Structure 1
Amino acid sequence: METRPLYPDDIVARKSDLMQLAVVERTVEDIDSHTPYPGQGQEPIIRDRSISQSAFGRFLRDGIPPKDTVLIRLRDDTSMELLPTSKVKLIDRSLLIGDIVKRSSSDAVSGVILQTSTKCSLQPMCDVTFQGTQTFKGILPPGKYNPTTSQFCVYPNGKPDIVTEIPSSELRVTDSPTEEDLVVYKDWIGRVEAITNNIQIRLSDNCVVEIPDESGEHVDGALGTFAIGDIAKTKKGNLRRGHWIFGQYNANTPPVGTVVSVRTVEAEISWLQKRVGSLADEPPSSLERPELESPDFQVYDRTRRPTQRDSNLSYNTISNSEIDVKLDTRVRFKDLTGACLKYNTPSHPNRIPKLDRMDNLGYDLNVFDIVAFSTEVVVQWQDLTITTDRSIDLVPDGNIDDEHAAWPSEITHSLNLQPVLGMDGIEQPEKVGIVHAVNAAERMATVKWSPDSYIHYSGDADDEGEIRPIVAHAIRTPVFEEEVSLYDIEAPAPLNVRRGDIVLITKPATSSQPGDAPWLGEIVDTPLDGTFVVRLGAASEVRDVVMFREEAVVAVRSDGTDDLGDPWGQNEMDEDEEDEEFSDDDEGESIDEWESGDEEMIARYEDENGDPMDEEEVENEEWESADEEDAEMQDAPEHQTPPTSQSATPTDTSDRTVNQASQLTHLNLQPAGGPLSYSVLDGDPPSDHHFANEPATTSSNHMRRTQKEHKILRNPSTLPQGVYIRTYETRLDLLRVLLVGPTETPYENAPFVVDFYLPPAFPTEPPQSFFHSWPAHASIGALGRVNPNLYEDGKICLSLLGTWEGNKGEGWNAARSTLLQVIVSLLGLVLVREPYYNEAGYEALVGTESTKRPSALYSERIFLRAKGFLITAITSVNDTAGLKGFEDVVNWLYRRADGPKLLDATIKNVEEVLQRSDGSSEPNGLTVMSKGACVSLKRVLERLNELKAKG
């Protein structure tokens, strides 16, 4: 039987002991959890014996679980364990309304969660003894409490039976607020970051004292806040200083008891948004008891529902939230009396025990722990079918960031923009509509267009160069239907919402009642007519209202994309911490230290003549050649033939770069009479060189190192095939590089241009770079970056350039790194066959089943985007930014009869791809494309043939 894929927060159990539950902490595929040194300074980590010591050591360093392993947190222990996935069983998967899911990671079709239905198993309060003498009502945390070794145990007959099959809709969480809760205070909505509580403890002498939460200790030594029903220990000094609710301090009474009340005295809150139109200043980041108990403060409760139904609404797709169910969550029944009548039967009269307040000084101790649960969900799929599934039979869709993914009810528009009459600098798409259904496998969508809708974009992009600001929009009921390629439409994220999003109402109803907030609500339905249904959950009377998109503004995204910061709450390790050692215990015990069994990598350095160098010489940059005057640039050769793809690379290039570069292939770019691969151009650099206005540097050290860089680059044996370099007679510190995409990659035959600048601090600082990312062609389709490392605003993400924090030793080194190494890295490590895995942290996902389809779809988009680059270069070589100085190269590469005829080669390649893409094979993004991609690719072929006909 195939092992189910696992994800963080899944509930699992060891197959050898299904009663011992655990929570998944990390998997190899969840890159967001791959922070180094897991568990350091916190819980110990146990290694399963089947995992080698060396693999475990690597995990302790980089935080990435080895393939087919999982890191779990044991429920009844304070430790975590790394073990094979084959040894655990998936018990439940927590999915929330609005989550995007699939039936398997290899499926094309996605769906959105409409409803969740969770059945819980509850542990009632127990009789707990302390030191065998005092007895309390309470709930001990998970663990083994042996009467012979522990001060605590359950008495006299063990724990009462677990109450099973209780719908979470009948439960509520005992304590509020808690961390991560959304709260409303006056005109603002915020998120609770931390809370400070006081707890009231009932002692064995029936006295009650209130002390600060942090003065108490959990019986298992765990950290965290207390909940009603917990057993708390403290010190007698804390009791003396406490506030006595009942009775008074007695030195003979043990400082142990049951938490009977929790009172929040302070809450640290991150304020997110304020009511539209409000002039109120942001509240203080810390609210104290007077503010928390005022009518202006409330915790946003997603479980509230309208008392009356709107007859105009269809309720079969409206979402109704329940509590967020987690292991060991402390809950109450919303209606305990009703639950007792419902579940207590003559055969099980005390299935749900009910504790009388009169027996507990008036405190309500009818609380329960969630010890297990199972979830069913209702899913609406992209083809509009609706099914009910077990949560464990579904997987999260890891491809929701795909620029060309779409789901029913999303606002979409055509790619081509046109000026808005009478509005300078404003553009709008030709067509705006609503997605009605999606054929994800074929990358096609059914869209209903709305002639009365519009979206106005500002002509100025934001700082990232990717998102154009929307200045106005109006969405109205769609009219006519059309099947379109997903590559021909865009679904603007700022306008689209998901179930669970919290929105601000732009024109809310007025209310003078304190604490009433009808200006805030949750998206609970997204019909197919351009509207959405908002539940005004913060209003005194909850109701559902239908709104157009422009009548609400998203304040909090349900998927957390509005959040910033380190989810693990830890900063980067100091270099000293990286050297911490770990050791192993063969019996599978806790691992505190570890010694690497890997052999130390010995670096070998050579000067430019190939002679060996001592490391001290390298670090002192004493790698000058004896004939330094030969580096002068006036003697550049008149003609150079581009080297083959097997050309040598500098000895200081990393092994990975060398290996990658040696595997590059191109069509023959070496016909006689071709342009120089390296050339110094007369005069000043062109005005479109990104660094043309940067000051030149005249220091002798800088000039000497600059000349060395050029000496390396002009050597015919160094440049890989497909690289062309231009520098300038007056500015040798500026260079422009054209890279031709290697064959058997999505970038095949496409040109990519990068500008370089050797700044005054060079080589102490790395070169500065700028990538010329040309705009996408609306007629071709495909949006976004052409590579995860190449940004549309020109940024290049590369450790050698200091723009990415790579592994130790991969950054720029003034003594060993060269500009050639940077260029080879761009060609060999960026323009690769599967660029999806260039995303930060994705290298750990290579070969995993769940990423095969996302990688193919990414390559498919890049294939189209790269063809757009090729068309841009050929069509407007004299006018396109970045191509100045390469006009002869572009003409020779693509058009001239004596060149490699890359235009003809590209036409042939596109024709072959279209011929193979007949629906009989799964698209791979390189040789076989989806139907949606073929729609665009046919237009690409038509345009390429037009360019060929023009000669």
Structure 2
Amino acid sequence: MDDDSNENPDTTPPEESTDRERQATWFERWLAQLFEDRFLWPPHLDDASTEATPSRHERPPPPSALYTYARHVPYFSAASTVAAMDGEQVPFCVEDSVGLKDDKFMVGVVDRTFGDVDSHEPRPQRDYGEDIERHRDVPKEDFGAFMKTGIPPRGTVLVSWQSELKTELIPEAQLKLLDRALYVGDVVKRSAKDHISGTVIGSRAVCTLLPLSMRDDTQRNPAAADDVSVKAVPAEELLHVHEYNEGALVIYKDWVGKVEQVYDEVAVRLPNNSVVIVETPDDLEPDDPDVDRLSVGDTVRTKKGNLRRGRWKYGAFNPNVQPKGTVVEARTVSLNVHWLARRFISSESVPADHIEPPSDLYTDELESADFHVYDAARGTPTVLPTSPNDIDKSYHVAELAVGDRVKFKDLTAAAVKYDGTRSLPNGYPVGKLKRIPRTETLGYDMNVFLVMQTHTQVTVQWQDLTITEDMSQTLIPDPNVGDDDEVWPGEIVCSVEQRQGHDPTTSWLTEPAKVGVVQSVKSRDRIATVRWFETFNVRFAGEDLIPPVETGRLLDATEDVSLYDIRSTPSLNRRRGDFVLIHPDSALYKINGELASTTNAINWFGEVLDLGLDGLITVRLGAALPVIDVRVRIERVTLVYSSDMDNQFDFMPTLDGESIEDDEDSEDDSEFDTDSFNEMWVDMNGEPIGATEDEDWSTEEEDADDDDVSMPDLIPQENIDTSKTTPEAHSDNERKESPLILRNSLPPGIYVRTWESRLDLIRVLMIGPSDTPYEYAPFIIDFYLDSSYPSQAPEAFFHSWTEGNGPVNPNLYEDGKICLSLLGTWHADERNESWSPGKSTLLQVLVSIMGLVLVKEPYYNEAGYDVHRSAPETKLSSALYTERAYFKARAFIAHALAPKLLDKAIVAATSILERSEQGSDEEERDGMNKISLGAVVMLKRQVAKLEALKAKAT
């Protein structure tokens, strides 16, 4: 593909250096210019004369790696990096490593931010053993509100300080951003205002380590940390101190599982040099209240009985010795494992163990040859050829964070390397590793270190296929990563258009007309370049694939398509960092194209490294001996575990920015949601059933000769038609009075119909308000007033006509749910009231839906997003959501076949097309008045459909 074809105005990369000598020492120069360690500042930096300090404004040269298949751009900007490190114009994120500007020894981790809605759990004190502190610059009333809602006030963050063991709500202006936790597979941007985004495809990190045995001393004298810490230690040289950790993936025989709980036996060295394995480790109280799991070097105290009943390794119980000491060993004796999947077997292979292993594994199982801990940091033993998307064996290293306890993989080699004689190119000392001999610790290994700071550099592949290397703190997580219409290179996409000959009676089954692989994306224009498969067999039942699935051979030609004409489905895609099972009899290829030979036992499980532009994915068989990277078709793997699975809960968005789990009893909806009930409202094709004479949509003042009876006029009138008589059998006065109240109180744009035989059923038509993405679109909602009404809210069912392309609004679900506090589906607070018997009415529900749901900027109806309304960093996300909502709402008009609405909708859509095609590229888009090029393509198609419907109706 020609380079010019991938040009995107979203990035303007600097020119690439060609100085090979400078490239050879790039990593060292990176450390010299960008490594700003909180424990690495020599005294002379505080003096007026700093000529000896290397300039931070000299752009470092690019890395030495040359990429063949995509253009590589060394996107280091000294100005942006320094600004990021100073905390200027860079939003703080959860898990960020931060420092206090006026105290270089204060280092901590961000726990909560105003912008991260996932961190806004109420009553935050429940998560901490010690009281949360308030910085003096945070007003008391703001702090009180935070302690209740869990939402940090704008401009503040909650930080857990590692150096003083406290948690504090503090203004962002007091902080300096040191590092950002980004992992392979994360989608990032340089700014929330940027259209283009990229995927992290590689990372490398260096750490500052402090001996855990010296932590207490350095807390009393922070300056002492400079003398005992070791700087610029690559993460690949380190291991977590515990061999088994919660969340780790393990393999036992033919099963893969995830560790849920770890049980350790703990040995404590007492002041008299005796060592005991305590009877009950849970009764040990660490001096650090935030320690979740004890490790070597922790100081603890306990009751004397816990020591007396323990197993003594050295010495014996002495009641005169204080029951406190230092942990010298924490040995795992059992694991609780949640088993995820069993390997696939072919008919020719040896039968696998079909019986699921027990949830609890003990020492015998852990030490057996059948048990393995999957180590994602293991690299291939030799340097393999570069893959089409430029991933090599160094793509993955141990994921370390500030506060982690670690040890060296090779302590002897580390002691030689960090002997105190080495320094960084700028002259700063690296430090000396002071090894603790086992002879001084009764034979126990006490060489455990605390990660005090990290610096991470990530490799990012952008949507236009450029690849850059960036300091992680110069990037932010992409807020639009969950959008249905966002795609990235290597993803498999399906056309929204369905295959010809599709049987309309099998509405549960969908067959896309085209399936292909995204080659690149012009994000500003909302256009993707796709290579389609020549032959394929892909069918869906909802979002699930129907086997067998085949993708076939890719065509040579590419096609530019609108992002609104394609969709990416999770069932047909894998992400970098996903763990998968490889199907038996799959063709496995090394990344250089040769058939891979895997003769060892564990060649069926691995981690996704890369998404190829040819439809193949690269999988690292990390448990194989030796480790090997193979390429395989996407349909030949099955997802076992993804980081997204950690939060698989059924949550719905709420207008008030909060969410609750939908725990309504499904049986309560049985009378309302059955197929037989729905048949009263729509026919088999989804069209409204023809009404009898007394059930037509009408108003009291409408012209009897009006032929357009399928939809009412938009002019405000008496908007309800009820029967002249009410069956005396209905004794519920409230249900009889509801239509009468609505008769005289309905606002413009809302129309109601009732049935004389079923006064417990009400159908409501809402016409989307002008100047919103829902303008002129008809929305139909059915209400059921059961015997509990009005003591309880009515039940509601929303008719969605988006044809499986996602909800038209965050609060209007495709399955008919309406998320509204008045209906009892959300939390109520001071801003959003709940249903109140004797006070709340059906009219309130209708007004709330019209005024709070069908709004101009529906993006902020997402859970927790209301606090970001009008924030500059969310304008682009809001405009993109509005753009999508507008298209989906046009489908409602086409479905309803309403000629008068069609006239208005066609005129409005045509005006948008004219403004979008005539406006300049610099003119800001808002999703309605001016839209992207990809959206223009889609809207023209929809206007043509609307005009065809109008011609057919006339």
TM-score interval (norm. to shorter): 0.7 to 0.9
CA gap of 1:239–1:377, structure 2 versus 1, over 3 A, is: same
Choose from 535, 549, 555 the match for 1:473: 549
User: Using the alignment, how far apart are the partners of 1:83 and 1:9 within structure 2?
Assistant: 15
CA gap of 1:856–1:20, structure 2 versus 1, over 3 A, is: same
Q: What secondary structure is seen at the aligned counterpart in 1 of 2:259?
A: strand
Match for residue 592 of structure 1? Answer: none
Q: Deviations over 1:491-546 (max 9, x none)?
A: 11111111111001111799xx9995322100112111111111111234321111
CA contact (8 A) 1:306 1:543 kept: yes
Amino acid at match of 1:336: L
CA contact (8 A) 1:508 1:519 kept: no
Q: Deviations over 1:674-701 (max 9, x none)?
A: 7x511136999xxxxxxxxxxx99552x
CA gap of 1:839–1:505, structure 2 versus 1, over 3 A, is: same
In the alignment, structure 1 residue 297 sits paired with structure 2 residue 371: yes
Report the alpha carbon displacement of residue 470 of structure 1 after superposing the two structures with TM: 3.6
CA contact (8 A) 1:201 1:208 kept: yes
Q: Deviations over 1:471-490 (max 9, x none)?
A: 33222342220111100001
Q: Deviations over 1:799-847 (max 9, x none)?
A: 1112222326711112111111111111111000000111122212212
Choose from 347, 363, 368 the match for 2:449: 368
Report the alpha carbon displacement of residue 911 of structure 1 after superposing the two structures with TM: 4.2
Choose from 502, 519, 535 the match for 1:436: 519
Match for residue 311 of structure 2? Answer: 243
CA contact (8 A) 1:43 1:78 kept: no
Q: What secondary structure is seen at the aligned counterpart in 2 of 1:369?
A: strand
Choose from 24, 28, 34 the match for 2:120: 34
CA contact (8 A) 2:824 2:834 kept: yes
Q: What secondary structure is seen at the aligned counterpart in 2 of 1:861?
A: helix
CA contact (8 A) 1:295 1:514 kept: no
Amino acid at match of 1:822: V
Q: What secondary structure is seen at the aligned counterpart in 1 of 2:722?
A: strand
User: Using the alignment, how far apart are the partners of 2:430 and 2:133 within structure 1?
Assistant: 43
- The correspondence of residues 220-235 of structure 1 with structure 2, limited to 5 A, is 220-235=288-303
Report the alpha carbon displacement of residue 15 of structure 1 after superposing the two structures with TM: 1.6
CA contact (8 A) 1:498 1:558 kept: no
Deviates more, 1:358-367 or 1:83-92: 358-367
Match for residue 742 of structure 2? Answer: 713
Match for residue 852 of structure 1? Answer: 875
Match for residue 799 of structure 2? Answer: 772
Match for residue 335 of structure 2? Answer: 267
Choose from 527, 530, 542 the match for 2:627: 542
Q: What secondary structure is seen at the aligned counterpart in 2 of 1:471?
A: coil
Report the alpha carbon displacement of residue 448 of structure 1 after superposing the two structures with TM: 0.7
Match for residue 946 of structure 1? Answer: 948
User: Using the alignment, how far apart are the partners of 1:872 and 1:866 within structure 2?
Assistant: 10
Choose from 560, 567, 571 the match for 1:490: 567
Match for residue 731 of structure 1? Answer: 758
User: Using the alignment, how far apart are the partners of 1:269 and 1:332 within structure 2?
Assistant: 25
- The correspondence of residues 156-235 of structure 1 with structure 2, limited to 5 A, is 160-211=227-278, 212-235=280-303
- The correspondence of residues 377-392 of structure 1 with structure 2, limited to 5 A, is 377-392=458-473
Report the alpha carbon displacement of residue 350 of structure 1 after superposing the two structures with TM: 7.7
User: Using the alignment, how far apart are the partners of 1:282 and 1:295 within structure 2?
Assistant: 18
CA gap of 1:565–1:47, structure 2 versus 1, over 3 A, is: farther
User: Using the alignment, how far apart are the partners of 1:380 and 1:514 within structure 2?
Assistant: 34
Report the alpha carbon displacement of residue 52 of structure 1 after superposing the two structures with TM: 2.7
Give ranges in structure 1 of 5+ residues lacking alignment. 126-137, 147-152, 462-466, 574-632, 643-666, 685-695, 778-782, 875-889, 896-900
Match for residue 807 of structure 1? Answer: 829
Q: What secondary structure is seen at the aligned counterpart in 1 of 2:927?
A: coil
Q: Deviations over 1:354-376 (max 9, x none)?
A: 23333433322222211111111
- The correspondence of residues 780-791 of structure 1 with structure 2, limited to 5 A, is 783-791=805-813
Q: What secondary structure is seen at the aligned counterpart in 1 of 2:609?
A: strand
Match for residue 394 of structure 1? Answer: 475
Report the alpha carbon displacement of residue 228 of structure 1 after superposing the two structures with TM: 1.5
| Misfit runs of 4+, over 6 Å | 347-350, 419-424, 681-684
Report the alpha carbon displacement of residue 572 of structure 1 after superposing the two structures with TM: 11
CA gap of 1:71–1:796, structure 2 versus 1, over 3 A, is: same
CA contact (8 A) 2:916 2:932 kept: no
Match for residue 596 of structure 1? Answer: none
CA contact (8 A) 2:545 2:572 kept: no
Q: What secondary structure is seen at the aligned counterpart in 2 of 1:454?
A: coil
User: Using the alignment, how far apart are the partners of 2:323 and 2:728 within structure 1?
Assistant: 73
Report the alpha carbon displacement of residue 165 of structure 1 after superposing the two structures with TM: 0.6
Report the alpha carbon displacement of residue 42 of structure 1 after superposing the two structures with TM: 3.6
Amino acid at match of 2:885: I
CA contact (8 A) 2:719 2:752 kept: yes
Report the alpha carbon displacement of residue 110 of structure 1 after superposing the two structures with TM: 0.8
Q: What secondary structure is seen at the aligned counterpart in 2 of 1:403?
A: coil
In the alignment, structure 1 residue 108 sits paired with structure 2 residue 110: no
In the alignment, structure 1 residue 283 sits paired with structure 2 residue 325: no
In the alignment, structure 1 residue 450 sits paired with structure 2 residue 533: yes
CA gap of 1:940–1:142, structure 2 versus 1, over 3 A, is: farther
Match for residue 825 of structure 1? Answer: 848
CA gap of 1:299–1:29, structure 2 versus 1, over 3 A, is: same
Match for residue 752 of structure 1? Answer: 779
User: Using the alignment, how far apart are the partners of 1:401 and 1:683 within structure 2?
Assistant: 52
CA contact (8 A) 2:502 2:511 kept: no
Amino acid at match of 1:87: Q
- When the two structures are aligned, how many residues end up with a matched partner? 790
CA gap of 1:420–1:750, structure 2 versus 1, over 3 A, is: closer
CA contact (8 A) 1:195 1:268 kept: yes
CA contact (8 A) 1:740 1:749 kept: yes
Q: CA RMSD in A?
A: 3.4
Match for residue 927 of structure 2? Answer: 925
CA gap of 1:484–1:398, structure 2 versus 1, over 3 A, is: same
In the alignment, structure 1 residue 533 sits paired with structure 2 residue 618: yes
Report the alpha carbon displacement of residue 341 of structure 1 after superposing the two structures with TM: 2.8
User: Using the alignment, how far apart are the partners of 1:515 and 1:229 within structure 2?
Assistant: 39
Match for residue 639 of structure 1? Answer: 700
TM-score, with length taken from structure 1: 0.77
CA contact (8 A) 2:230 2:430 kept: no
In the alignment, structure 1 residue 15 sits paired with structure 2 residue 101: yes
Deviates more, 1:532-541 or 1:928-937: 532-541
- The correspondence of residues 877-896 of structure 1 with structure 2, limited to 5 A, is 890-891=898-899, 893-894=900-901
Match for residue 902 of structure 1? Answer: 904
CA gap of 1:44–1:282, structure 2 versus 1, over 3 A, is: same
Match for residue 130 of structure 1? Answer: none
Report the alpha carbon displacement of residue 346 of structure 1 after superposing the two structures with TM: 4.6
Give ranges in structure 2 of 5+ residues lacking alignment. 1-82, 346-351, 423-428, 589-597, 652-657, 661-693, 704-711
Amino acid at match of 2:807: R
CA gap of 1:853–1:158, structure 2 versus 1, over 3 A, is: closer
CA contact (8 A) 1:297 1:515 kept: no
Q: What secondary structure is seen at the aligned counterpart in 2 of 1:140?
A: helix
Match for residue 334 of structure 1? Answer: 409
Amino acid at match of 1:827: M
CA contact (8 A) 2:260 2:335 kept: yes
In the alignment, structure 1 residue 871 sits paired with structure 2 residue 855: no
Percent of aligned positions with the same letter in both sequences?
A: 40
Match for residue 140 of structure 1? Answer: 215
User: Using the alignment, how far apart are the partners of 1:78 and 1:228 within structure 2?
Assistant: 18
Report the alpha carbon displacement of residue 258 of structure 1 after superposing the two structures with TM: 3.0
Q: What secondary structure is seen at the aligned counterpart in 1 of 2:575?
A: coil
Report the alpha carbon displacement of residue 197 of structure 1 after superposing the two structures with TM: 1.1
CA contact (8 A) 1:3 1:85 kept: no
CA gap of 1:638–1:88, structure 2 versus 1, over 3 A, is: closer
User: Using the alignment, how far apart are the partners of 2:779 and 2:412 within structure 1?
Assistant: 71
Q: What secondary structure is seen at the aligned counterpart in 1 of 2:473?
A: helix
Deviates more, 1:843-852 or 1:747-756: 843-852
In the alignment, structure 1 residue 521 sits paired with structure 2 residue 606: yes
User: Using the alignment, how far apart are the partners of 2:441 and 2:879 within structure 1?
Assistant: 63
Q: What secondary structure is seen at the aligned counterpart in 2 of 1:271?
A: strand
- The correspondence of residues 546-561 of structure 1 with structure 2, limited to 5 A, is 546-560=631-645
